[in-house]
């Protein structure tokens, strides 16, 4: 007996100690094999039922893996500004965990305003690390829908009005996220530019406009950034819902751009059994199956890609070709993320993340106006700084829709200025009562913002407090409640809400040196611009928003943000003139609302500059506490042979056609950063084109008194227009001007290039 035990023990020891040789490990589990080998090995091991199960949700934010084979579930999270608090399995309310308060990074409109690819990489890395630590495989973001109207409720989640800027910024964001074994899910694909009736509106847009304005940022995310996931949008295009839109998903995304990742539906955005199967959707997520309109709880088995899919396969109505493709894509995603060969662990709430959030928020803050060098603040020791306005104290990480976050802390501007100016007396007056709400999906800021005073009393109290102040800063703007910067609703007006315009005028009448800080995620009208001396555009800055603003106001950071969209003087000046353009009409006999993109490619500054319409502040505008001279500029070539037509997938479009070198001299007294912007102006005649289009930019730091050479490469794509008839990119022959400037309206020099 004893001998048997010893023998058995030795055998067991042998089994335990000898690790299986590599050939015993199934290929799909072997990290030394390529992702494609692993996919090909895993796919045939899966049953039809297991494959179908992977294509649809099992809870609000997860879908099943293959438990039998050790293939993990896929977990998603919003995005795009931080990692959403855990919600209940089948409810939107937060689950009440106490370890899920994240670092809130700034809103994407702020990131875009940095015009700094390094900031986008820093952002992507930081949020990717937080996602990985929280064991998320897909980050639902970033969003790159173009700001077609200042009224779109989700502009704050997007990267501005220009496809080149958005494309340049989304690329490093995606790369930074994915370095952590987390898939970036770029959203919302495509032509989804308003929240009004977002699940019932068909975008009617011509191909030129689609390819030149609304697709390029997505293409950059896929082809330059290598995005592993894309989210279809709620709206329709071409009469088909975009979560299973054949043209967008099969022809363009997976066809022309060779996208090999997964297409995820927006939550409840899949609407048709057959199209969900055949038109390129890979994973169906959401609430209900009929466009978020309600259904019995636990409807997952009734999802389009669940029971209806299996039934169709079983009775032979559909084959398994699409299913194998979907399952292969999902497996690829899993092998790139949770089962990646390189283990990733991430990190959460690290000091580095809060520091990154602060740097990005400060770098995106835009100094719009600074008459007489009023800023940075100069409050004498023992002096009194008065802040007026709700946004000086309102915490705004909570709210806004699916980007709502629970953060460990949020520093308000009032807290931060008190911290930054310990020798001054920093006081606050409300001025107006806006949104007193403090919670969203049961995440609560804990603030009580109720105030019983009448508007008259609020004004007189603010004016009285201003009397003996050494400096007065109004901090107002929008917030994230309904009809402001908020998912699901659009704004009703471009003007500031809660009577702020009148309040600013009244304050300015008493305070000649009034400074205004507008916090918003979209353009607002500033009819009081001439009455105030300095204006700063802040954004939803996340956890460190107050400190970032204080950094700029006090001069600890020299502002270098630039507007990612035009601030028009009024809504009426813009390109959307009719109801059919926005918010759409419902013609007799149509099932869905129709929204006609009649303005074509003339969006944002393309419209204002081509029509010669003056704006409040142009696209690309932003001042500094120093000044920059454009000392010299040149192109590497004076002429090139490139005219002709290029197929949509031609790699030549990405190759450099010409390089520009610009010398920037810092002629002021402070170190600072300038954003050199290159706009291409095509030869006139032929197809009508915008008078200028952004095709290159670079942010360059220049110490005071020094100069730096900035090199910007212009690929062939910079000189193209999309030709609908031939479905190709065309480079017209002729003389092009490369405009070098500090904003779309501040062009410092023009260089010409002959294209033959």
Question: Which residues make up the interface to ligand BGC (CB under 6 A)?
Answer: 78-79, 140, 187, 266-267, 402
| CB nearer ligand BGC, residue 491 or residue 708 | 491
| CB nearer ligand BGC, residue 488 or residue 555 | 488
At residue 73, the 3 state secondary structure works out as: coil
| CB nearer ligand BGC, residue 101 or residue 404 | 404
Compute the least distance from the CB of residue 135 to ligand BGC, in Å: 17
CB neighbour burial string for 444-481, b if at least 16 within 10 angstroms, e if fewer: ebebebeeeeeeeebbeebbebbeebbbbbbbbbbbbb
CB neighbour burial string for 71-85, b if at least 16 within 10 angstroms, e if fewer: bbbbbbbbbbbbbbb
Residue 61 phi/psi, 5° resolution?
-130, 15
The two tokens of residue 549 are: 């603003």
| CB nearer ligand BGC, residue 78 or residue 732 | 78
- Note the maximum CA span of the chain: 102
CA–centroid distance for 299 within its chain: 30
Compute the least distance from the CB of residue 218 to ligand BGC, in Å: 15
| CB nearer ligand BGC, residue 518 or residue 522 | 522
Compute the least distance from the CB of residue 194 to ligand BGC, in Å: 13
At residue 355, the 3 state secondary structure works out as: helix
Compute the least distance from the CB of residue 78 to ligand BGC, in Å: 5
CB neighbour burial string for 209-227, b if at least 16 within 10 angstroms, e if fewer: bbbbbbbbbbbbbbbbbbb
Compute the least distance from the CB of residue 31 to ligand BGC, in Å: 30
The rounded radius of gyration (Å) of the Cα atoms in the chain is 27
| CB nearer ligand BGC, residue 116 or residue 487 | 487
Compute the least distance from the CB of residue 716 to ligand BGC, in Å: 34
For 588-665, where are the alpha helices, taking DSSP H only?
605-611
Using CA atoms in the order 264, 251, 172, 694, what is the torsion angle rounded to 10 degrees?
Answer: -130
Strand order in the sheet with 74-78: 62-63, 74-78, 138-140, 183-189, 229-232, 262-264
CA–centroid distance for 226 within its chain: 16
| CB nearer ligand BGC, residue 62 or residue 370 | 62
**Residue 422 β-bridge partners:** none
Contacts of residue 593, defined as CB under 8 A and 6 or more positions apart, other chains included, come to 197, 200, 201, 202, 583, 584, 585, 586
Residue 700 phi/psi, 5° resolution?
-130, 135
| CB nearer ligand BGC, residue 195 or residue 551 | 195
Compute the least distance from the CB of residue 154 to ligand BGC, in Å: 8
CA 612 to each of CA 301, 574, 609, 615, 618: distance values in angstroms, whole numbers, following the listed order: 56, 12, 5, 9, 12
Compute the least distance from the CB of residue 184 to ligand BGC, in Å: 12
Compute the least distance from the CB of residue 212 to ligand BGC, in Å: 25
At residue 439, the 3 state secondary structure works out as: strand
* Residue 583, preceding peptide bond in cis (omega within 30° of 0): yes
DSSP 658: E
Query: How much of the chain is in helix, strand and coil states, percent to nearest 5?
Result: 30, 20, 45
| CB nearer ligand BGC, residue 154 or residue 606 | 154
| CB nearer ligand BGC, residue 365 or residue 402 | 402
| CB nearer ligand BGC, residue 185 or residue 328 | 185
CB atoms within 10 A of CB 391: 27
The two tokens of residue 294 are: 């309600």
**Residue 664 β-bridge partners:** 630, 708
Decide if 76 contacts 134 (C-beta within 8 A): no
Compute the least distance from the CB of residue 88 to ligand BGC, in Å: 14
Compute the least distance from the CB of residue 112 to ligand BGC, in Å: 17
Task: Reply yes or no on whether 206 is catalytic.
Answer: no
CB neighbour burial string for 253-277, b if at least 16 within 10 angstroms, e if fewer: bbebbebbbbbbbbbbbbbbbebbb
Strands (E), 600-671: 628-635, 639-640, 644-647, 656-666
Neighbour-count burial of 394, counting CB atoms closer than 10 A to its CB (0-12 exposed, 13-18 middle, 19+ buried) = buried
How far apart are the C-alpha atoms of 504 and 282, rounded to whole Å?
51
| CB nearer ligand BGC, residue 139 or residue 657 | 139
CA 14 to each of CA 4, 8, 118: distance values in angstroms, whole numbers, following the listed order: 15, 10, 52
Give me the sign of the Cα torsion angle 634, 638, 641, 642. Answer: positive
How far apart are the C-alpha atoms of 431 and 433, rounded to whole Å?
7
Residue in 28, 710, 68 with CA at minimum distance from that of residue 331: 28
Compute the least distance from the CB of residue 177 to ligand BGC, in Å: 14
How far apart are the C-alpha atoms of 226 and 160, rounded to whole Å?
21
Compute the least distance from the CB of residue 84 to ligand BGC, in Å: 7
DSSP 102: B
| CB nearer ligand BGC, residue 288 or residue 701 | 288
Of 78, 116, 266, 282, which one is the catalytic site residue?
266
Residues belonging to the active site: 266
């Amino acid at each position: 007996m004893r001998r048997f035990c010893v023998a058995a023990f030795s055998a067991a020891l042998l089994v335990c100690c000898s690790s299986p040789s590599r050939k015993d490990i199934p290929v799909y589990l072997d990290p030394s094999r390529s992702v494609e080998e692993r996919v090909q090995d895993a796919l045939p091991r899966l049953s039809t039922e297991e494959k179908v199960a992977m294509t649809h949700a099992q809870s609000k934010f997860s879908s099943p893996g293959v438990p039998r084979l050790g293939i993990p579930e896929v977990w998603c999270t919003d995005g795009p500004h931080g990692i959403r608090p855990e919600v209940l399995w089948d409810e939107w309310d937060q689950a009440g965990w106490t370890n899920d308060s994240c670092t809130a990074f700034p809103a994407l409109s702020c990131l875009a305003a940095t015009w700094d690819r390094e900031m986008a990489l820093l952002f992507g890395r930081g949020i990717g690390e937080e996602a990985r630590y929280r064991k998320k495989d897909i980050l639902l973001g970033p969003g790159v829908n173009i700001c077609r109207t200042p009224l779109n409720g989700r502009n704050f989640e997007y990267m501005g009005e220009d496809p080149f800027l958005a494309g340049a910024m989304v690329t490093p964001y995606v790369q930074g996220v994915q370095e952590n074994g987390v898939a970036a899910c770029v959203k919302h694909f495509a032509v989804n530019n308003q929240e009004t009736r977002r699940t019932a509106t068909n975008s009617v847009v011509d191909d030129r406009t689609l390819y030149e304005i609304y697709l390029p940022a997505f293409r950059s995310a896929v082809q330059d950034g290598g995005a592993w996931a894309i989210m279809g949008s709620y709206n329709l295009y071409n009469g088909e819902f975009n979560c299973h839109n054949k043209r967008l998903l099969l022809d363009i995304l997976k066809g022309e751009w060779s996208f090999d990742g997964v297409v995820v539906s927006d939550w409840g955005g899949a609407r048709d059994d057959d199209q969900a199967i055949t038109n390129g959707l890979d994973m169906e997520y959401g609430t209900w199956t009929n466009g978020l309109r309600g259904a019995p709880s636990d409807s997952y088995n009734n999802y389009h890609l669940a029971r209806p899919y299996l039934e169709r396969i079983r009775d032979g109505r559909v084959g398994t070709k699409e299913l194998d493709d979907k399952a292969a894509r999902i497996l690829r995603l899993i092998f790139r993320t949770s089962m990646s060969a390189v283990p990733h662990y991430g990190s959460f709430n690290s000091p580095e993340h809060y520091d990154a959030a602060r740097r990005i928020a400060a770098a995106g803050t835009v100094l719009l106006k600074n008459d007489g060098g009023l800023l940075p603040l100069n409050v004498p020791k023992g002096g009194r700084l008065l802040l007026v306005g709700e946004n000086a104290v309102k915490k705004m990480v909570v709210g806004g829709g699916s980007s709502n976050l629970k953060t460990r802390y949020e520093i308000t501007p009032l807290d931060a200025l008190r911290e930054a100016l310990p020798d001054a007396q920093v006081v606050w007056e409300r001025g107006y009562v806006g949104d007193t709400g403090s919670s969203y999906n049961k995440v609560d800021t804990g603030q009580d913002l109720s105030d019983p005073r009448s508007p008259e009393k609020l004004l007189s109290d603010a004016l009285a407090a201003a009397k003996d102040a050494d400096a007065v800063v109004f901090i107002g703007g929008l917030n994230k409640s309904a009809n402001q910067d908020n998912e699901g609703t659009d704004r009703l007006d471009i003007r500031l809400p809660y009577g702020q315009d009148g309040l600013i005028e009244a304050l300015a009448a008493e305070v000649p040196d009034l400074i205004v800080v507008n916090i918003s995620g979209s353009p607002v009208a500033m009819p009081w611009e001439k009455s105030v001396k300095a204006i700063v555009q802040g954004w939803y800055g996340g956890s460190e928003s107050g400190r970032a603003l204080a950094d700029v106001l006090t001069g600890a950071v020299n502002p270098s943000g630039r507007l990612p969209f035009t601030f028009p003087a009024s809504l009426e000046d813009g390109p959307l003139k009719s109801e059919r353009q926005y918010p759409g009409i419902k013609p007799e006999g149509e099932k869905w609302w129709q929204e006609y993109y009649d303005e074509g490619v003339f969006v944002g500054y393309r419209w204002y500059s081509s029509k010669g319409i003056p704006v409040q502040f142009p696209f690309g505008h932003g001042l500094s506490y120093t000044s920059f001279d454009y000392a010299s500029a040149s192109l590497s070539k004076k002429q090139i042979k490139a005219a002709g037509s290029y197929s949509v997938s031609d790699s030549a479009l990405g190759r450099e056609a010409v390089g520009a070198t610009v010398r920037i001299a810092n002629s002021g007294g402070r170190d600072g950063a300038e954003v050199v912007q290159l706009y291409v102006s095509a030869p006139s005649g032929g197809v009508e084109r915008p008078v200028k289009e952004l095709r290159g930019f670079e942010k360059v730091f220049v110490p005071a008194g020094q100069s730096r050479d900035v090199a910007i490469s212009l690929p062939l794509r910079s000189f193209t227009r999309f030709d609908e008839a031939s479905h190709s990119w065309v480079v017209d022959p002729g003389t092009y001007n490369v405009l070098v400037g500090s904003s779309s309206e501040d062009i410092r020099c023009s260089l010409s290039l002959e294209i033959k």
